[in-house]
Amino acid sequence: MVTIRCHCFLLFLFVPLLAVGQESVLRLKPYDGSAGSFLNAQISADTTANRGIPANRVYLLQRGGAYLANATFRVNTGQTLRMRANDSAGTRPVIYLYPTGSGTNPANPPGNFIDLRGDLVFKNLILTGYFEPIDTNLNNLQGGLLNVPTAGAGAKITIDSCIITNSNGNHIRTDGAVKLVKVTNSVFANMGYLGRSNLGAGKGIDLRDASADTVIFEHCTFVNWQDRVIRHYNFSNPLAGTGPIHYLRFNQNTLVNGMSYHGLLSLGSMGKRALITNNLMIDPFSLGNDTDAVRQAEFLNHGERDQFGGSRIVWVFTAPNDTTRWTISNNYYAISDSGQKFFSDYAAAGVTGEGSPLTWHLNRRLGADSVNAFKKISLKLNNIPAVMSKMNRWYRSPSGGNKSKNTPSAAWNKSFDFDRRGWLYFDDTLDCTYPTSSAAYSGAIGGYPVGDLNWFPARKAQWLVDPRTSVEKPGGTVVPTSFTLQQNYPNPFNPSTKIVYTLPQEAKVRLEIFDLLGRKIATLVDESRFAGEHAVEFDASGLTSGVYVYRLSSSHQVLSKKMTLVR
């Protein structure tokens, strides 16, 4: 039996179906050494018995438990994989990709955890690409974690409050056009591993050249990436562009330690709206600006040239157009002493510091606002991994990488790896707070701290209810096509729950709570709201246990659902 290190390791029996509101919940047991306890095996047993994922199925993982996956699980078209931690306190459940034990390389974990042709909803999980308790398993790290193949066009991905770490290629990859990628309150860490792939790998999300209706990253922290946080690029024909990202919101994120080999946010073709706002970046472009032809090979689609005629290296770039409405503002960045020393040491070799955040095209589109897009400050975070200076120096050394993308080579070993930490560090030690005296602390729109506000929970609570921060938060799709009311979450609840609804156009709406006798308990909303997705918290502290009805009404339609308060 495998020995697993975790805060606590609990064994639970495979628990029968529990009916909870409109969800059908199935509790999955942590790994116990048996073949049937692999996570993928448990889900497959359920889907085989039910000829697919049952409607409204939620797979519940035990906090403190360790789950092993030794095969890729496919989510078929029209189905939704919902997986979350149980609602009790404690360490989030950890999912390890584990050696398959079969094929030509039985020591390799599966190439992906999920092959997604339908939809995915993850909440309060930790997912790591190799079995960390055995350190040498890192040498078998595979290319991805969550993958949407071409056949998965139309998929929707929603990730909240998760830690996603360790892939040699990309944490999320979408080869098919997607409707939604929405990642909130999560940590993306350890993107790339040079022992298994090259420097063009190591991305948070790789959208390839496919279109996306909506891409949202908000209140997330990114730590240690080799290539790009977002890659949306047509490699075979970069000047032809990509399918568009119709709506992008990259807001209130913290970014720490990026090599940024081929850029930071490589955005390809863009659609109606793009916002890059209120982000904090520490050593986000640590390999620096250069005239390195190997790196320049994927800075082509913006069409801009440096003084030597090569493709200009910048942090954020896109295929130029004059139609996308851009907001790029209130972003702050800092360079550590070690990061600055690397720039200084290689200045004679052509490294000209951290480089330019934006293309000239984006500067022109922003006009006078471009001076406020990125502000450089001096700032140190409380506890973060060291900048990847050793790896950068190895890359440039003639006896090391010698400025070659196609590594690994005999000259490389793990001593040159970035400061790779295990999931436990990101769960309980990483600390991206900073002094309240810093200009960054009031630098975001509305006077909030820049970066992931989960590091400042009191300020985040204020942000969530502040009208100044509610502008342009459509969620879901660019403009929802229907008037909808979602099931509240959690349900049952005690004492608070969240109610989400969508509006296809601006409208006056009323959201009310009733008991089963029809008596009104509360009015949560009674005003005009913009088109998009809206979330409202309902606090039932003064109410007794029971079933309540929440009703959403406008001049054209009335929708209602039930929810259960359990004391």
Return the SS3 of 46.
helix
Nearest C-alpha neighbor of 212 from the set 176, 185, 241: 176
How far is it, in rounded angstroms, from Cα 524 to Cα 536?
8
All structural domains of the chain with their residue ranges: 172-184+191-477, 484-565
Residue-level pLDDT at 479? 57
SS3 content of the chain, % helix, strand, coil (to 5): 15, 35, 50
Low-confidence ranges of the chain (pLDDT < 50): 1, 3, 5-21, 471, 473-477
What local confidence, expressed as pLDDT, does residue 480 receive?
67
Structure token digits, residue 435: 């002094």
- Pairwise CA distance, residues 202 & 13, whole Å: 37
Q: What pLDDT score does 224 carry?
A: 98
Nearest Cα neighbor of 224 from 262, 257, 194, 253 is 257
CA–CA separation, 560 vs 349, rounded Å? 66
Q: What is the 3-state secondary structure (H, E, C) of 204-263?
A: EEEEECCCEEEEEEECCEEEEECCCCEEECCCCCHHHCCCCEEEEEEECCEEEEECCCCC
- Quote the pLDDT of residue 239: 76
Which position has the token pair 């890059």?
A: 276
The correct answer on CATH 3.40.50.2300 for the domain covering 484-565 is no
Nearest to residue 471, comparing CAs of 327, 271, 324? 327
Per-residue pLDDT of 146-186, as tens digits, reads 999 999 889 999 999 999 999 999 999 999 999 999 999 99
Check residue 389 and report its DSSP letter: H
